[in-house]
């Protein structure tokens, strides 16, 4: 499945994800700038903050309780479409997922 990521520098990157890999892992693996992912996906840093595009919100699903709490500590403004990208697992259903990487992590 493909992910379309918009970086804070304004560039758009379309990358191929492995099914089961997180959006964070995939972005880091492809060298997409903007995600820090300090904790490596352990849900303890909130430095993998992204905004899911409105058209993909339903497919991406909502944040679980703990992720939701962590999002309150994110550096960039929290929005209704905020997610921590290490908690979004790629599947064929999510092909074409579009996210914008939050400007500050």
Residue of the chain from 21, 27, 45, 50 that contacts ligand FES (CB under 6 A):
45
CB of 31 to ligand FES, least distance (A): 16
Residue 96 in contact with ligand FES, rule: CB under 6 A: no
Residue 56 in contact with ligand FES, rule: CB under 6 A: no
Q: Which residue, among 96, 100, 88, has the nearest Cα to 24 in the 3D structure?
A: 88
CA distance 58 to 75: 24
Burial class (CB in 10 A: 0-12, 13-18, 19+), 3: buried
Residue of the chain from 3, 23, 24, 94 that contacts ligand FES (CB under 6 A):
24
Residue 39 in contact with ligand FES, rule: CB under 6 A: yes
CB of 102 to ligand FES, least distance (A): 12
Residues 6 or more apart from 91 whose CB is under 8 A from it?
A: 1, 19, 20
Span between the terminal Cα atoms of the chain, in Å: 25
Residue 52 in contact with ligand FES, rule: CB under 6 A: no
CB of 40 to ligand FES, least distance (A): 6
């Amino acid at each position: 499945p493909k992910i379309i990521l918009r970086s804070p520098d304004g560039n758009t990157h379309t990358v191929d994800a492995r099914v089961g890999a997180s959006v964070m892992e995939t972005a880091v693996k492809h060298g997409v700038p903007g995600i820090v992912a300090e904790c490596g996906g352990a849900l303890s840093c909130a430095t993998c903050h992204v905004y899911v595009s409105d058209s993909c919100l339903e497919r991406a699903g909502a944040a679980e309780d703990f992720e939701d709490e962590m999002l309150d500590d994110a550096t960039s403004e929290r929005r209704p479409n905020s997610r921590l990208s290490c908690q979004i697992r790629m599947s064929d259903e999510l092909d074409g997922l579009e996210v914008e990487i939050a400007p500050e992590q």
